[in-house]
Copies of this chain bind each other. A is one copy, B any other.
Amino acid sequence: MTIEGRREEHRPGRIRLGMVGGGKGAFIGAVHRIASRIDDQFELVAGALSSDPDRAKASALEIGLAADRAYGSYEEMAKAEALRPDGIEAVSIVTPNHMHAPVARAFLEAGIHVICDKPMTTTVTDAQDLVDLVGRTGAIFCLTHNYTGYPMVRQARAMVVAGELGAIRVVQAEYPQDWLTTRAELAGSKQAEWRTDPQRSGAGGSIGDLGTHAYNLAAFVTGLETDQLLAQLSTFVAGRQLDDDVQILLRYKGGARGMLWASQVAVGNENGLKFRVYGTDAGLEWSQADPNYLWFTRFGEPKQLLTRGGAAVRPEAGRVTRVPSGHPEGYLEGFATIYAEAARAIRAAREGRKPDSEVLYPTVEDGLAGMQFIDAAVRSSANGNVWTKVA
């Protein structure tokens, strides 16, 4: 029941947190709030939970925020909180994609750290601007590519880093879902509405919502950089404006080759994020639906089923593990790990030092890379599915 590298449980003095977006009817806001509570590192004290001021305030009161910190707009909130002695130290941005950049800018300029949902922006230019702004302000910017918080994803990365796979040859990444198989955006689903609307989502549909996760995860685990890609974006549901399926070939620098598939119309797939990585010496396979397992095979040896908290777990995975092996941790715990890592970085910033070297969270540069990926894929597809340089 002991776990190598097991993390410290707690440190007093919670970080004061605000939230933009995530009011009534939203899905991801509640996820962020739970994630922020799990390790007891944050206290949510302020919010501008909707672009509609009345709805924003009502939502805030409903979740127990004080009336004077239930803001009607994010601009107001950034200004007011920056002036309070007990103002928020960090803000979570959980709006539709098109609002990420302006909100992030407002808080970064107010000297407040940012935890932001992905994809980071809707354009590469906006993404580059945020990179610059973060560089200038020195603030912590954490992008919630939450799947990198799963212990067995950390394990996979650590095994690659340790050389257990040898040189990587082939990467297979995929993220099929099926919830947009029919035209849900006309059937009253708020989620479906904005995620299929180019005004709010940006130029990518499934590629932005799902493809970036798969792409980021593959990069996180393998450390490979993409040279070129060739993308085939499809819109299968008539009348939809954005892609609901994307099929991509990848040429990584150094010679590795990859395939990436994301879909919102693959019937029978709920949330099928998966990666498979094959090197000269060994292979790894992981599936988000069963995140406590990692398949590992050394060439010529029996397959091993590595388990979270189990034998062979490396400290990089053990330190983000909360309960012993066999007691599954899930999506919220993985998400919470991103928050916990952000907290470690924010505490270090409080103390004017760098975070410990093992602290790991998706950065503003990862956000830029994601936008460059979407941009290259959209251009490749628009030009007839041709090879296109990334970045």
Contacts and interface: CB of A to CB of B under 8 A. Distances in A.
A101 interface: no
A105 interface: no
Contact of A249 (B232, B236, B283, B312): B232
A123 interface: no
A304 interface: yes
Interface stretch (A34-42, A111-119, A130-138): A34-42
Given A306-B302, A307-B303, A63 B327 contact: no
A232 B228 CA distance: 13
Contacts of A30: 9, 322
Task: Give this chain's copy count.
Answer: 4
A239 interface: no
Contact of A280 (B177, B181, B327): B181
Given A259-B261, A302-B305, A305-B302, A170 B245 contact: yes
Contact of A290 (B61, B302, B328, B385): B328
B330 A328 contact: yes
A301 B310 CA distance: 8
Interface string A1-39: 110000001111110000000000001001101100111
A241 interface: no
A125 interface: no
Given A331-B323, A331-B328, A266 B276 contact: yes
A384 B292 CA distance: 40
A385 B169 contact: no
A309 B302 CA distance: 11
Interface string A274-306: 001011111111001111100111111111111
A247 B257 contact: yes
B328 A328 contact: yes
A27 B324 contact: yes
Contacts of A40: 33-34, 37, 63-64
Nearest to A251: B232
Given A33-B40, A268-B278, 20 more contacts: A9-B30, A9-B33, A9-B63, A170-B245, A170-B263, A170-B266, A178-B299, A230-B385, A232-B257, A263-B278, A267-B281, A267-B283, A267-B298, A268-B296, A270-B325, A270-B326, A272-B326, A288-B328, A323-B332, A330-B330
4 A-B pairs with the lowest CB-CB distances in the bound complex, closest first: A271-B326, A270-B326, A268-B297, A12-B64
